[in-house]
Amino acid sequence: MKIFVHCISRIIQFLRVVPTELYPWHS
């Protein structure tokens, strides 16, 4: 279960970083 939580954390981090890289004007 901890692996699942870790994957979710990585996905959330990825989703938070990618929009910043793709749309720097969004933030």
Model confidence at 27, in pLDDT bands (50, 70, 90)?
low
Total domains in the fold of the chain: 1
**CB–CB of 27/20 below 8 Å?**
yes
pLDDT greater than 90 at residue 26 = no
In this predicted structure, what is the pLDDT of residue 10?
A: 96
In this predicted structure, what is the pLDDT of residue 8?
A: 97
Domain around 5: 1-27
Q: What pLDDT, in 10s, does the model give residues 10-25? A: 999 988 887 777 776 6
- Using H for helix, E for strand and C for coil, what is the string for the chain? CHHHHHHHHHHHHHHHHHHHHHCCCCC
